[in-house]
């Protein structure tokens, strides 16, 4: 009995010693630590945006509304930074043949982009991602174009150049439109790009930009717009002048107020072709917006809707085969017509 008690005492003592020994946490790499810091900074940013939203809900002031509307678009500026995105083209999208490019703008920025070449390409398409989105999701939405035989250039909109300090960013669509002019200049200088078969495809806010840019830049031979929103309250001259005044020391766009009117732009694209796409289950941009744009546009124009699809998702769900077909048919008819 005494021997048994001794054994039990030893076992209990040893088990107590084991529990007293702390398991050493694996040390995080510098990159993991940096990402944790970025994650926490995103949390602070979201709280900041929520504060502006609450203030606007309570006051409905034009000043707060402008601050909310013109802010850095993404909710994840720090973890969405291109340094955490740049490898996704191979790890996530499994695309091995591509070029990382930096597109220079007239005011000295360099926009991060991916150019995906295609041998004997049928054409080249500039891809414009949506509001708050980025190059990664823009590629998710547009990479099917490569399988159709078209090379694409997808890039981060200018606000991503200010991801290190989103609090100071002031956005204005006019600057984004002029960036598209810089992108056209950049892509047109490539020897593997046939400028007679250069077009644009945009999604959501990017679709709005694609229509406005399509009207402004005749170098774009065709325009495709998925769920382009209509601004219900166009700028007044006073608002337009005020917005431009905020860009002291920054890029001041030369584009006019009339050029930013999407309905005027839609009517100006002709005789170049315009195609509108829209998911019928879109809860972000009403289907009616595309119908109004279609009505204002001149021939050649067409519109296709997708009954099972939400906002700019027609290429992903059960409608994707129909989506691919209408895009391919449009391109074959207008870009590769015999």
Q: What are phi and psi of 302, to 5 degrees?
A: -155, 160
pLDDT value for 246: 67
Are 244 and 302 members of one domain?
yes
Integer Cα distance of 197 and 279 in angstroms:
27
pLDDT value for 67: 86
Are 63 and 207 members of one domain?
no
pLDDT value for 247: 63
Q: Is residue 266 part of a domain?
A: yes
Q: Is residue 267 part of a domain?
A: yes
pLDDT in tens, 264-305: 999 999 999 999 999 999 999 999 999 999 999 999 999 999
Residue 213 lies in domain: 89-334
User: Which residues fall within 8 angstroms of residue 288, CB to CB, at 6 or more apart?
Assistant: none
Q: Is residue 15 part of a domain?
A: no
Q: Decide if pLDDT at 12 tops 80.
A: no
Are 176 and 323 members of one domain?
yes
- Band of pLDDT at residue 129, cut at 50, 70 and 90: very high
Strand partners, 101: 113
Q: What mean pLDDT do residues 242-247 have?
A: 67
Please name the residue that has the structure tokens 């601004």.
Answer: 231
* Residue 200 DSSP SS3: strand
Q: What mean pLDDT do residues 241-253 have?
A: 64
User: Which residues fall within 8 angstroms of residue 109, CB to CB, at 6 or more apart?
Assistant: 158, 161
Q: Decide if pLDDT at 60 tops 70.
A: yes
Q: Does pTM surpass 0.85?
A: yes
Task: Determine how many CB atoms are found less than 10 A away from the CB of residue 137.
Answer: 17
Q: What mean pLDDT do residues 92-114 have?
A: 97
Cβ 225 vs Cβ 207: under 8 Å: yes
Are 231 and 97 members of one domain?
yes
pLDDT in tens, 189-235: 999 999 999 999 999 999 999 999 999 999 999 999 999 999 866 56
Q: Is residue 170 part of a domain?
A: yes
Domain count, the chain: 2
Are 187 and 262 members of one domain?
yes
pLDDT value for 23: 60
Are 122 and 67 members of one domain?
no
Are 109 and 198 members of one domain?
yes
Are 132 and 203 members of one domain?
yes
The CATH number assigned to the domain holding 186 equals: 3.40.50.1820
- Band of pLDDT at residue 4, cut at 50, 70 and 90: very low
Integer Cα distance of 301 and 24 in angstroms:
65
Q: Is residue 299 part of a domain?
A: yes
Mean pLDDT of the chain: 90
- Band of pLDDT at residue 65, cut at 50, 70 and 90: confident
* Lowest mean pLDDT across 18-32, 41-55, 161-175, 188-202: 18-32
Q: In what order do the strands lie in the sheet with 198-203?
A: 99-104, 110-116, 150-155, 123-128, 198-203, 223-226, 274-279, 301-306
Cβ 102 vs Cβ 112: under 8 Å: yes
């Amino acid at each position: 009995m005494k021997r048994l008690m001794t054994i039990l005492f030893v076992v209990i003592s040893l088990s107590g010693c084991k529990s007293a020994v702390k398991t050493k946490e694996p040390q995080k790499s510098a990159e993991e630590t940096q990402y944790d810091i970025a994650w926490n900074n995103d949390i602070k940013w979201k709280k900041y945006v929520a504060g502006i939203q609450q203030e606007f809900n309570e006051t409905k002031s034009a000043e707060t509304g402008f601050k909310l509307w013109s802010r850095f678009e993404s909710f994840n500026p720090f973890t969405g930074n291109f340094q955490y995105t740049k490898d996704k083209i191979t790890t996530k999208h499994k695309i091995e043949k591509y070029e990382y490019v930096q597109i220079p703008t007239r005011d000295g920025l360099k926009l991060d982009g991916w150019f995906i070449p295609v041998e004997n390409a049928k054409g080249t398409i500039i891809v414009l991602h949506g509001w708050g989105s980025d190059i990664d999701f823009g590629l998710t939405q547009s990479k099917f174009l490569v399988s159709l035989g078209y090379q694409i250039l997808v890039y981060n909109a200018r606000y991503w150049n200010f991801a290190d300090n989103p609090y100071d960013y002031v956005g204005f669509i006019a600057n984004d439109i002029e960036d598209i002019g810089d992108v056209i200049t950049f892509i047109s200088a490539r020897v593997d790009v046939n400028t007679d078969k250069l077009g644009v495809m945009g999604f959501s806010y990017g679709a709005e930009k694609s229509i406005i840019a399509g009207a402004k830049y005749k170098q774009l031979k065709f325009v495709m717009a998925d769920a382009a929103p209509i601004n219900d309250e166009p700028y007044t001259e006073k608002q337009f002048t005020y917005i431009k005044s905020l860009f002291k020391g920054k890029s001041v766009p030369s584009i006019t107020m009339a050029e930013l009117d999407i309905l005027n732009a839609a009517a100006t694209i002709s005789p170049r072709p315009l195609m509108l796409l829209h998911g019928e289950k879109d809860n972000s941009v009403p289907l009616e917006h595309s119908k109004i744009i279609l009505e204002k546009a001149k021939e050649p124009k067409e519109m296709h809707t997708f009954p099972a699809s939400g906002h700019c998702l027609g290429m992903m769900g059960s409608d994707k085969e129909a989506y691919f077909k209408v895009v391919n048919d449009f391109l074959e008819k207008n870009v590769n017509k015999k």
